[in-house]
Amino acid sequence: MKSIYMTGFMGAGKSTVSRLLAEEMGLAHHDTDEEIVNAAGKSINRIFEEDGEIVFRKLESEILHVLPKENAVIATGGGIIVSEENRIFMRRNGIVIFLYASIEEILERLKEDTTRPLLQGDNKEKAASLYEMRLPLYRETADICAETGGKQAEEIASDIKHCLKGAGLGHTC
């Protein structure tokens, strides 16, 4: 089976849902953010502070390209789809699932999270602007879209599994 790439805005549930889906399907699990931290030897916040977003995005693309292209569920960072090269790579090499929720719900989920460099300070407007800018990219890249708002992660993973097992592969955004 081709690898499954989980995309979506920060706080959409990619890491949690991808882990559950991998477990349910007996597949390996990878998280690009975790892989970046391991490769760089420092937190994402430190990468942004010390090296900048451009270096982070380069690392993100490099990690994406070395992860398995089969039998894995891969949680991607929220901005991975900004790169056209990454979008093409994921479409060519796997099944892309877009997890989404309203920006209001995402901001509520992330209000206490201090590990998101793009949300440091009072950046609700910046987050909403990023969300709106990225939304069309998530949709155009996705094979399957799954709403996460108001749902438990287990339910979302189960719904995705059923969609993958059936002939549910089609652009459903």
Q: What kind of fold does domain 3-165 have according to CATH?
A: Rossmann fold (3.40.50)
Each residue's pLDDT tens digit, 162-173: 999 874 544 444
Residue list, annotated binding site for ATP: 11-16, 116
Task: Give the pLDDT band of residue 73 (cuts 50, 70, 90).
Answer: very high
> Which tokens is 128 given?
């909403």
The residues spanned by each domain of the chain are 3-165
Flag the least confident range among 27-31, 148-152, 169-173: 169-173
Average pLDDT, the chain: 91
**Residue closest to 78 by CA, chosen among 123, 34, 131:** 131
Phi, psi angles (nearest 5°) of residue 50: -90, -35
- CA neighbours closer than 13 Å in the CB half-sphere of residue 89: 19
C-alpha angle 25/12/35, rounded to 5°? Answer: 65
Percent of the chain having pLDDT more than 90? 79
Each residue's pLDDT tens digit, 84-94: 999 999 999 99
Residue list, annotated binding site: 11-16, 33, 57, 78, 116, 134
Residue list, annotated binding site for Mg(2+): 15
Flag the least confident range among 1-5, 17-21, 94-98, 120-124: 120-124
Each residue's pLDDT tens digit, 30-50: 999 999 999 999 999 899 999
Tell whether pTM > 0.75.
Answer: yes
Contact 102, 11 (CB under 8 A): no
